[in-house]
Structure 1
Amino acid sequence: MALGNPILIPESNTNVQFIHIADVLRTILATFENRHAVCQSYNLAHRETITWKSLMSTFKKITNSPSQIIEVEQKFLTENEIGSKQFFPFRDVSYLMDTTKLTKDGLPTPAINLEKGLERSYKWFKQQRDFVPPRHSMNKVDFILNAYTQ
């Protein structure tokens, strides 16, 4: 994205939620002092629901990226036997969590929204000098870009 390369996303109506690590830690620490949390499990996610397009638009805004967002059609993926994980880092599945149990048990709910969380994470990332990108299975990026940009 920082290089201005196109961003590929599945064309879908998928909605997901995210959570910033600071909210995870705040909730975990609160469980240590909350008798209702003993032997309990909780869903942790910010209440804001995000589409892939809004996620990438937020990334673009934060990084000042000129990258074009390209929505890859399901028909193209099916015809070419390409799974979303071969060009996109997330599963293309709506995954929404019910966090009402946190409130019911008196625990803090996640407060850092996507934009603020990405701003913090990007600021941290830019300070890392020894970062080595993880290997991934996104082996169809060039194939899709060739098909969509010609």
Structure 2
Amino acid sequence: MSNIVSKSSILILGGSYFIGRKIAEVFEEYGYSVSILNRGTKPLTSLNIEQITCDRNDTECMKKALNDRRFDCVVDVSFKDSSWVENLCDTLDFETVKSFVFISTSAVYDIENLKIPFKENDKLAENKYWTSYGLEKINAEKYYTDYFASMNTRLIILRPPYIYGENNYAKRESLIFKHICESNPIIIPKTNPKLQFIYTDDLAKIINHLFKNNASGTFNVGNKKSMTARDWVNACAKVVDKKVKIIECDYKSLNRNVRDFFPFFDYDNVLDVRKINSIFNEETPIETGLSNAYKWFLDNKSQIAFKENIEKNICEILAKSN
């Protein structure tokens, strides 16, 4: 395999669930020495991946866990707030770290005052959709940018839109799969917003490519084309191989919130991805990614805990629409 890097070591902060887990699996496949740091609440997917058990809230635990450890690449997936960023920078020796990758988000953009597609140099600001989540990511980007400015470590900031794939604990595609399988209608906002996605496997491959090619900077990462909410639901139905009834809902007239029934906010979340595509333009077709996610759903649906209030909201809205 041309992508194999036999001796490079990578530390992934996270790695138990969704995004970090996929990054760990892909980098192991490419031949890296992979370590993951998390609380150890989920079993490892491979005996070849090292588990470093630590709570990022605990500074002393972080110091002990990372003392005298050396890595070529570090990927921060599990960021929660600024204290985690400071703890990491205070406890990890970056002397050997060639690349540091921060998984940020499209939620950092000043969404209410920008036009799509959002570009890397567009204004960042807390917005009404993502509130403190977006603001914390903005603060983390700034902290890392300032911290690495005088160091030899290359900083890579990735801003994905909606990430999908197997093990997605956000229960976005899984919620839709569930209702399609049960022959229930799918409710979408009347505005039919534009959505942009990236498959977890593609995100991991982008990280590998940027590391191998000594890249640095901020990159929007996502599929080349966005799709409407209706198109996305139909794509989900296609992999389930069932027809679906889609109901457009004027939820504001019902004094509802869009997240009461739909797994995305009601705005066009579309990024300009020309910068990353000039370096790496491989992309998993949405049908393939959703098909893989659906297979995972079928194998794990008995263990997926859907929110009871969401199910209740959907039933109430459907009752009013009939």
What TM bracket, shorter-length normalisation? 0.7 to 0.9
> CA deviation digits over 1:99-132, x for unaligned, max 9?
121134x2x2251122121012112222236522
Q: Does 1:144 align with 2:317?
A: yes
Q: Which residue of 1 aligns with 2:274?
A: 100
CA distance in 1, matches of 2:263, 2:308: 8
Q: Does 1:117 align with 2:296?
A: no
Unaligned 5+ runs, structure 1 = none
CA distance in 1, matches of 2:288, 2:319: 34
CA distance in 2, matches of 1:78, 1:99: 32
Aligned 8 A contact 1:15 1:95 in 2: yes
> CA deviation digits over 1:3-54, x for unaligned, max 9?
111111111141111111110010011111122x23x221111012110110
Q: How does 1:50-89 map to 2 (within 5 A)?
A: 50-73=227-250, 77-89=251-263
Aligned 8 A contact 1:44 1:110 in 2: no
CA distance in 1, matches of 2:239, 2:220: 27
Q: Does 1:18 align with 2:197?
A: yes
Secondary structure in 1 aligned to 2:252? helix
Residue type of the partner of 2:244? S
Aligned 8 A contact 2:234 2:244 in 1: no
> CA deviation digits over 1:66-103, x for unaligned, max 9?
43111113xxx222211100111110110111112113
Q: Does 1:32 align with 2:205?
A: no
Aligned 8 A contact 1:46 1:110 in 2: no
TM-score, normalisation: structure 2: 0.41
Residue type of the partner of 1:91? F
Q: Which residue of 1 aligns with 2:225?
A: 48
Aligned equivalent of 2:298, options 119, 123, 126:
126
Aligned 8 A contact 1:62 1:119 in 2: yes
Residue type of the partner of 1:61? K
Count of aligned residue pairs for this structure pair: 142
CA distance in 1, matches of 2:321, 2:224: 34
Aligned 8 A contact 1:17 1:49 in 2: yes
Q: 1:95 to 1:136 in 2, by over 3 A?
A: farther
Residue type of the partner of 2:293? S
- Alignment RMSD (CA, Å): 1.9
Q: Which residue of 2 aligns with 1:9?
A: 188
Residue type of the partner of 1:42? F
CA distance in 1, matches of 2:287, 2:207: 22
Residue type of the partner of 2:266? D
Aligned 8 A contact 2:192 2:230 in 1: no
Residue type of the partner of 1:97? L
CA distance in 2, matches of 1:111, 1:90: 22
TM-score, normalisation: structure 1: 0.84
Aligned 8 A contact 1:9 1:88 in 2: yes
After TM superposition, what 4+ stretches of structure 1 lie above 3 angstroms from structure 2? none
- Name whichever structure is richer in strand by fraction: 2
Secondary structure in 1 aligned to 2:197? coil
Secondary structure in 1 aligned to 2:194? coil
Unaligned 5+ runs, structure 2 = 1-179
CA distance in 2, matches of 1:98, 1:65: 33
CA distance in 2, matches of 1:137, 1:95: 25
CA distance in 2, matches of 1:121, 1:53: 18
Q: Identity over the aligned pairs, expressed in percent?
A: 25
Secondary structure in 2 aligned to 1:47? coil
